[in-house]
Amino acid sequence: MPPGSFVLARSAFPASGSRRRSTHLAESSPAPESPSPPSTLLTIRNVEKGFGARKVLRGISLDIASGEFITILGESGSGKTTLLRIIAGFERADRGEIWMEGKRLDVTPPYRRPVNTVFQSYAIFPHLSVFNNVAYGLRAAGAPKHEIPERVIRALEMVKMYEFAQAAPSRLSGGQQQRVALARALVNRPRLLLLDEPLSALDANLRRQMQVELKSLQREVGITFIFVTHDQEEAMALSDRIALLRAGHLEQVATPRDIYYRPETAYAAQFIGQTNLLRAEMRDGIATSGAVSWHTFGPPGKVVFSLRPDHIRLVVPARVPSQADVSLARFKGRVANQSFGGSSDLVEIDLGNSQILRARLANPGVLSGDREFEFSSADAVRVREGGDD
């Protein structure tokens, strides 16, 4: 459907027609997945967007389940905010489609989408009181007059801003405005809540506190959250799934644990948590990278592995080395640097030939000189390197 024809595809779009269209699209779409399962709330298909000559999004396809907390994670300029704005309706995709429950969302004007946004700048109306800010959406939707005060107050109670109902927004702190913005969006009971770096303007303590509250709020209301951030720790702490965006394409979409322990690409491994990239040569089931080698499977050739610093352990000298254990890889190196980090220290190990590995060791004491280290070969995860940029 061309982007201009949104009169046809408003909320009045007949459900049967749109369903047929949806299946038809799924068949003709190059994506291998079958028509969305019933729990899918939002389907993004091959969305592309450019500003002038600059391509911001290159063929994004993503299914988002109902009730899910999904984070779009990426560096600044990766296109994450643009993707969010396309879902909200503030930008129009050059190509591709967005479907929500059998209806074309991307051709619906923003004020008819069952989607609400918490803006990075909060965008609180300065001329309206907190109460009237929260009531704005209900009034626009023509909610029954007697219902409005009750719903507004409940929403304000939910974000602990009840006592500020009559306050002017200019008297609120950043954190309080944030809560009002959240209440203003949630009071409409949207099917989908978009959050554009909502915590980035808050200081570290408040931020952590809001993260916890946001997560429990999401469980409480059961609304699907799409959360945009550049902060990988925040993404890991909050999300059911993370969609890692890099220069306009999705690098990996997975649960935080999967993306951490099973990164698919070198970029994902490096962006989410710290890692050691081992460029290895495979031969006869043994991977060799500089001074380190370990048993693994796969065809011969050059392969890149990701090894998390916390997977490297110090070998206790007293123990008898069990060389027969092929699941372990051992190597010797000089402790080049050790930075104290409380419960664990980050240690740089110099293996010679300018090969340096980082290890996160729990309470190792002060280390120096040559030591022996080990890791399970299963923890060295094969990753793809480079992108198509």
Report the distance separating Cα 182 and Cα 117, nearest Å: 8
φ and ψ at residue 101, rounded to 5 degrees: 50, 50
Does 126 engage in binding with other proteins (CB under 8 A)? Answer: yes
5 binding other proteins? (CB under 8 A): no
In the range 177-196, which residues lie near other proteins by CB under 8 A?
A: 184-185, 188
The one among 29, 55, 67, 119 contacting other proteins by CB under 8 A: 119
- Looking at beta carbons only, is 83 or 115 nearer to other proteins? 115
Q: From CA 167, how far away is CA 133, in angstroms rounded?
A: 11
Q: How far is the CB of 82 from other proteins (least distance, A)?
A: 14
Which of 18, 50, 59, 136 forms a contact with other proteins (CB under 8 A)?
Answer: 136
How many Cβ atoms are within 10 Å of 165's Cβ, its own excluded?
Answer: 19
* Binder of other proteins out of 10, 20, 112, 257 (CB under 8 A): 112
- Contact call for residue 141 and other proteins (CB under 8 A): yes
Given 111, 299, 318, 343, the residue binding other proteins (CB under 8 A): 111
Q: Which of the 8 DSSP states describes residue 36?
A: P
Residue type, 234: E
Cβ closer to other proteins: 22 or 176?
176
Examine residue 115 and tell whether it contacts other proteins (CB under 8 A). Answer: yes
> Can you say how many angstroms the Cα of residue 209 is from the centroid of all Cα atoms in its chain?
19
For residues 287 and 296, give the distance between their C-alpha atoms in angstroms, rounded to a whole number: 7
> Is 145 a residue that touches other proteins (CB under 8 A)?
no
55, burial (CB in 10 Å: exposed 0-12, middle 13-18, buried 19+) = middle
Contact 196, 118 (CB under 8 A): yes
Compare residues 127 and 319 and give the one whose CB is closer to other proteins: 127
Shortest Cβ 294–other proteins spacing (Å): 52
The least distance separating other proteins from the CB of residue 166, rounded to whole angstroms, comes to 13
Distances from the Cα of 30 to the Cαs of 6, 24, 33, 37, 188, in angstroms? Answer: 24, 12, 9, 18, 36
Task: Work out whether 8 is an interface residue with other proteins (CB under 8 A).
Answer: no
- 109 sits near other proteins (criterion: CB under 8 A): yes
Interacting stretch for other proteins, rule CB under 8 A, among 41-49, 63-71, 116-124, 329-337?
116-124
Residue 108 beta carbon to other proteins: minimum distance, rounded to whole angstroms = 11
Outline where DSSP puts E strands in the chain.
40-51, 54-65, 69-74, 95-100, 103-104, 115-118, 192-196, 224-229, 241-246, 249-254, 276-283, 286-289, 292-295, 301-307, 313-314, 328-339, 344-350, 356-362, 370-376, 381-383
CB 175 → other proteins: shortest distance, Å?
18
User: Distance between CA atoms of 211 and 184, rounded to whole angstroms?
Assistant: 18
Q: What is the dihedral of CA 28, 29, 33, 36, to 10 degrees?
A: -80
Task: Select from 28-36, 106-114, 201-209, 369-377 the region that touches other proteins (CB under 8 A).
Answer: 106-114
Q: Which stretch binds other proteins (CB under 8 A): 51-59, 83-91, 215-223, 289-297?
A: 83-91
Interaction site with other proteins (CB under 8 A): 88-90, 109-112, 115-117, 119, 121, 123, 125-127, 136-137, 140-141, 168, 184-185, 188
